Amino acid sequence: MTEDDRLRVLIVEARFYEGIADALTAGATAALDEAGVAYERVAVPGAFEIPAAIALAWRAGAGFDGAVALGCVIRGETTHYDYVCGESARALQNLAVDEGVPIGYGILTCETGAQAHTRADPAQKDKGGEAARACLEMIALRRRFAGPAPV
C-alpha cells in the first residue's frame, strides 16, 4: 500500500479543556498510527464547533474517509451543558446519517473534571482511542455497502 492509498481521517479536537483534549488526541492518534492510517488534526474552540468543522471538510471534498470528533463538556450551573451536548451530538448524527460521514464520537459529557480525565486518559478509559477505532469500523462498513449499485 502506498502513502496515497492509505485511509485519511480528520481529527477535530475541541480545545476548551486543553489537558483533556490532549489526552483524547493522544489516544486517537495512537489508535490510528497502530492501524497505519493517515490523519490530519484540526482544532476548534469547543464541542459545539466540531460538527461544523467536519461538515466544512466533508462538503469541500477534502479527501477524508472519515472523522473523529474529540471534545469534552462538563456540567456547570446552567443549561448550557444540555444545549452543547445535545446539539453537537445531533449535528454529528445528522452528518453520519444524512451525508454518510463515518464519524467516531469522542465527545465526553461528564459531571466533573475528574470523570473527564479518567475517560480521556489513554492508560485508563481511552475514549479517544475508542472513537478512532469506531471511525475505522464505520469507514469499513461504508466501503462494504458502497459496492456495485443495485440493478
Q: Is residue 80 annotated as part of the catalytic site, yes or no?
A: yes
Q: Which of 40, 56, 62, 80 is catalytic?
A: 80
Predicted local confidence at residue 2, as pLDDT: 52
Asked if residues 135 and 105 have their Cβ atoms less than 8 Å apart, the reply is no
Model-level pTM?
A: 0.93
Among 4-8, 58-62, 111-115, the range scoring the smallest mean pLDDT is 4-8
Could you read off the pLDDT of 31-78 as tens digits, one per residue?
999 999 999 999 999 999 999 999 999 999 999 999 999 999 999 888
Average pLDDT value for the chain: 94
Per residue in 83-121, is it b (16+ CB within 10 Å) or e — as a string? ebbeebbebbeebbeeeebbbbbbbbbbeeeebbbbbbb
Joined grid coordinates for residue 99: 451525508
- Phi, psi dihedral angles at 41 (to 5 degrees): -105, 135
